[in-house]
């Protein structure tokens, strides 16, 4: 992953040393020149000079906190705006940048998608981000109405090919016909049903440190929240409901 990120940063004009320093600031979230020098095993003066150049080029921001000068990295999403001519290449690398940025767990952020293909952004992010598995709450019929059935069937095949497992808590009254949507083990999916008095309008996915929501066609949007704390909390709710829900 790091070699790809270094290659891309060098392609937009950073040398290798400054590219590595920028990635180090990403994994730290915020840092001082002294802290970074220890981490990079470089001289403080060399680190400071490179940070100043990165600041001039907009890759870090320096803020004064008492006597300390703290350097904060440019958010990976802002790189996307910064480099219009290389937008597609960065889009392919964005999950790697975000996973590195997420190591700090300090700054939750939200991505909002609108329009007829909004739901696809969530599904593609699951494939790009989920390592082994994910969980979700779903009213299946509501969800299938927001996305092309052929796309989701092909997506399930891609998910299975990557070995990504899922567990689903579903609204029993809103099922979708077709074995590919079932709890059959060959689709790497377990399904349980929420109690009859529970209803849902949106599908909620939790994977790694992300919570994604696909709204109904009426709202016609979806969003992804990166927040380790929120993801942890919703996972706890899911596990409780899973333990008391009905097996398929």
* pLDDT, mean over the chain: 86
Each residue's pLDDT tens digit, 95-119: 777 667 655 555 678 888 888 888 9
Each residue's pLDDT tens digit, 126-185: 998 999 999 999 988 887 888 888 999 999 999 999 999 999 999 888 777 778 888 889
Q: Residue 91 pLDDT more than 80?
A: no
pLDDT of residue 64: 85
- In the chain, CATH 1.10.10.10 sits at 2-93
Rounded to two decimals, what is the model's pTM? 0.60
Q: Bigger pLDDT: 36 or 216? A: 36
Share above pLDDT 90 across residues of the chain, in percent, rounded to a whole number: 33
Q: How far is 3 from 67, CA to CA, in rounded Å?
A: 35
Q: Bigger pLDDT: 86 or 78? A: 78
Q: Bigger pLDDT: 98 or 237? A: 237
- In the chain, CATH 3.30.870.10 sits at 108-247
Q: Residue 219 pLDDT more than 70?
A: yes
Share above pLDDT 70 across residues of the chain, in percent, rounded to a whole number: 91
DSSP the chain: -HHHHHHHHHHTT--HHHHHHHHHHHHHSSB-HHHHHHHHT--HHHHHHHHHHHHHTTSEEEEEETTEEEEEEPPHHHHHHH-GGGHHHHHHHHHHHHHHHGGG----EEEEEESTTHHHHHHHHHHHH-SSEEEEEE-HHHHHTTS-HHHHHHHHHHHHHTT-EEEEEE-GGG---SGGGS--GGGTEEEEE--TT---SSEEEEETTEEEEE--TTT-EEEEEE-HHHHHHHHHHHHHHHHHSEE-
For the segment(s) 108-247, the CATH number from 3.40.50.2300, 1.10.3130.10, 3.40.50.720, 3.30.870.10 is 3.30.870.10
Phi, then psi, of 60 in degrees rounded to 5: -140, 160
pLDDT of residue 107: 66
- Which fold does the domain 2-93 belong to in CATH? Arc Repressor Mutant, subunit A (1.10.10)
Q: Residue 244 pLDDT more than 60?
A: yes
- The answer to whether residues 170 and 205 touch, using CB atoms and an 8 Å cutoff, is no
Q: Is the dihedral of CA 113, 117, 119, 125 positive or negative?
A: negative
């Amino acid at each position: 992953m790091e070699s790809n990120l270094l290659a891309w940063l060098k392609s937009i004009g950073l040398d290798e040393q400054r590219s590595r320093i920028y990635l180090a600031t990403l994994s730290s979230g915020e840092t001082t020149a002294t802290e970074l020098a220890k981490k990079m095993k470089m001289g403080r003066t060399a680190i400071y000079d490179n940070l100043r150049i990165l600041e001039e080029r907009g890759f870090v921001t320096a803020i004064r906190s008492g006597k300390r000068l703290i350097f904060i990295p440019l958010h990976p999403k802002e790189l996307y705006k910064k480099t219009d001519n290389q937008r597609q290449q960065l889009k392919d690398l964005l999950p790697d940048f975000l996973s590195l940025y997420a190591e700090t767990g300090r700054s939750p952020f939200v991505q909002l998608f609108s329009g007829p293909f909004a739901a696809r952004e969530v599904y593609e992010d699951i494939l790009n981000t989920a390592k082994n598995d994910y969980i979700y709450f779903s009213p299946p019929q509501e969800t299938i109405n927001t996305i092309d059935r052929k796309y989701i069937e092909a997506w399930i095949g891609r998910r299975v090919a990557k070995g990504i497992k899922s567990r689903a808590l579903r609204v029993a009254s809103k099922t979708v016909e077709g074995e590919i949507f079932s709890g059959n083990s060959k689709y790497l999916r377990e399904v349980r049903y929420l109690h009859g008095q529970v209803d849902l309008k949106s599908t909620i996915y939790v994977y790694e440190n992300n919570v994604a929501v696909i709204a109904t066609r009426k709202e016609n949007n979806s969003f992804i929240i990166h927040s380790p704390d929120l993801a942890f909390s919703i996972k706890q709710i899911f596990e409780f409901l899973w333990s008391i829900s009905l097996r398929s």
